A and B are shown apart, each in its own frame.
Chain A
Amino acid sequence: MDTHRTGDLQIDQDPDAQRHHWIAERVGWTVITLVILAALLGLFGSGWLSEASVGTPEGALRLEYSRFGRFLAPTTLRLQLGPDVIHEGRVSLWLNRDYIEAAQVQRILPPPEAVKAGADRLTYVLRVSDTGRPTTVTIHLEPDRVGSLSGQIGVAGHKPLRFDQFIHP
Chain B
Amino acid sequence: MDAVLRAAVVYLFLLLVFRIAGRRMLSQTTTFDLVLLLIIAEATQQGLLGNDFSVTNAFLVIITLIGIEIALTALKRRSARIEKWIDGVPSIIIEDGRPLKDRMEKARIEERDILAAARTGYGLERMDQIKYAVLERNGDISIIPKQRSG
Could you list which residues of chain A lie within 8 angstroms of chain B, going by C-beta atoms?
29, 32-33, 35-36, 39-42, 44-48, 70-74, 168-169
A41-B1 in contact given A71-B54, A72-B53, A169-B56 (Cβ < 8 Å): yes
Instruction: Point out the residue from B5, B51, B63, B64 that lies within 8 Å of A73, measured CB to CB.
Output: B51
Q: Can you name 9 A-B residue pairings with CB atoms under 8 Å?
A: A29-B70, A40-B1, A45-B1, A45-B56, A73-B52, A73-B54, A168-B54, A169-B54, A169-B55
Interface string of B61-91 (1 = CB under 8 A from A): 0011011001000000000000000000000
B70 contacts A71, C-beta separation under 8 Å: no
- Partner of A70 from the list B57, B63, B64 (CB cut-off 8 Å) is B57
**Among the interface residues A41, A45, A169, which one has the most CB atoms of the partner chain B within 10 A?**
A45
Nearest B residue to A33 via CB reads: B67
Q: Which residues of A contact B67 (CB under 8 A)?
A: 32-33, 36
Query: In the complex, A29 Cα to B52 Cα: how many Å?
Result: 26
Say if the beta carbon of B60 comes within 8 Å of chain A. Answer: yes
Task: Bin chain B's interface residue count.
Answer: 10 to 19
Residues in A whose Cβ lies below 8 Å from that of B57: 45, 70, 73
A38 to B84, CA, bound (A): 32
For chain B, what secondary structure do more than half of its interface residues adopt (helix, strand, loop), or is it mixed? Answer: helix
A78 and B60 CA atoms in complex are apart in Å by 26
Report the nearest A residue to B8, measured CB to CB.
A36
Of the candidates A39, A48, A74, A168, the one whose C-beta lies within 8 Å of that of B4 is: A39
CA distance A77 to B52 in the complex (A): 18
| Docked-complex contact B70 and A74, CB < 8 angstroms | no
CB–CB A70/B54 < 8 A: yes
- In whole angstroms, how far apart are the Cα atoms of A40 and B1 in the complex? 4
Instruction: Report B-chain residues with C-beta under 8 Å of the C-beta of A29.
Output: 70
Whether B4 lies near A36 (C-beta < 8 A) is yes
Judge if B111 is at the interface, Cβ distance under 8 Å: no
Q: Which residues of A contact B56 (CB under 8 A)?
A: 44-45, 70-71, 168-169
Contact A32 B63 (CB under 8 A): yes
Beta-carbon contact of A35 and B1 below 8 Å: no
Of all A-B residue pairs in the complex, the 4 with the closest CB atoms, nearest first, are A47-B1, A73-B52, A70-B54, A168-B56
- Min CB distance B50 to A, Å, is 8
